[in-house]
Structure 1
Amino acid sequence: MALTHAEREQFLAEPHIAALAVDAGAGRAPLAVPIWYQYAPGEEVWIMTGAASRKYALIEAAGRFSLLVDRVEPTIRYVSVEGPVTGTLPATRERLTELAARYLPAEKVAGYVAFAWENHGEQLIVRMRPERWVSSDLGTV
């Protein structure tokens, strides 16, 4: 059964690991990789990725990407969202902390942020406006 507008936005706002997919060019399947993301209902989705990464180069070339999030407990549920890139800006330590705090236990955030900020190279925030949604709750199949 498809989720309501409010249900799908709330589900996407939860801290699931997303599968990001982006066109990888002629003769290639789309690039699909796990990624952390941030979303609040009614707003744009944003991700953080390396400025020199293949993922970013493909997103920049395609001008759009999709995210798929799912779970299997307590019911099988998923939300897929696709849309255009609306902007890219340099990552900040504050945004990295926000993202890490979404996924990591509180006591691990500062250590992760310090390591990532020093070792992951130049990072960018890529914003996407959700245009197309596909969602379902399959119940307790």
Structure 2
Amino acid sequence: MALSREEREQFLAEPHVGALSVVAEEGRAPLTVPIWYHYEPGGELWILTGRDSRKARLIDVAGRFTMMADRVAPTVRYVSVEGPVTAVDPGTREDHLTLASRYLPREKAEAFVDFAERELGPQVLIRMRPQHWVSADMGAA
């Protein structure tokens, strides 16, 4: 059963590991990778990724991407959103802390951000405006 607007937005706002998909080079299937993301109901979804990463380059060319989040318990539920990129900005330490804190305890989030700044290189924050939604809860009555 499809989720209501409120249900799908609330579900997407929970800290699931997302599956990001973006059109790839000709002759290749779309690139699909797991990624942390941030979303608040009614707002834009955003991710951080390496400035020179393959996904950043593909998103730049495509101008849009898809994000899917799911769970398997207590029922199988998923939400998928697709939409245009609205902004690409340099990622900041505060952006990293905001994102990492969704998935990790604060002390571990700070350690992760220290690692990321040291080892992962410059990051970009990519914002997407959800335009098309697909959702379901397979256990809903």
TM range (shorter): over 0.9
Tell me how far apart the structure 2 counterparts of residues 66 and 124 of structure 1 sit (CA, whole Å): 17
Counting aligned pairs with the same residue, the percent is 61
**Cα RMSD, aligned residues only:** 0.9
Aligned to 1:139: 139
Question: Aligned to 1:37, what secondary structure does the other structure show?
Answer: coil
Tell me how far apart the structure 2 counterparts of residues 59 and 48 of structure 1 sit (CA, whole Å): 12
Instruction: Output one character per residue of 1:53-90: Cα deviation in whole Å (capped at 9) or x when no partner.
Output: 01100000000000010000111000000000001000
Aligned to 2:35: 35
Tell me how far apart the structure 2 counterparts of residues 115 and 57 of structure 1 sit (CA, whole Å): 23
Alignment of 1:40-119 (within 5 A): 40-119=40-119
- TM-score, normalised to structure 2, is 0.97
Displacement over 3 Å in runs of 4+: none
Deviation at 1:119, TM superposition (A): 1.2
- TM-score, normalised to structure 1, is 0.97
Gaps of 5+ in 1: none
Question: Aligned to 2:67, what secondary structure does the other structure show?
Answer: strand
- Once structures 1 and 2 are overlaid, which stretch shifts more, 104-113 or 48-57? 104-113
Tell me how far apart the structure 2 counterparts of residues 54 and 36 of structure 1 sit (CA, whole Å): 16
Gaps of 5+ in 2: none
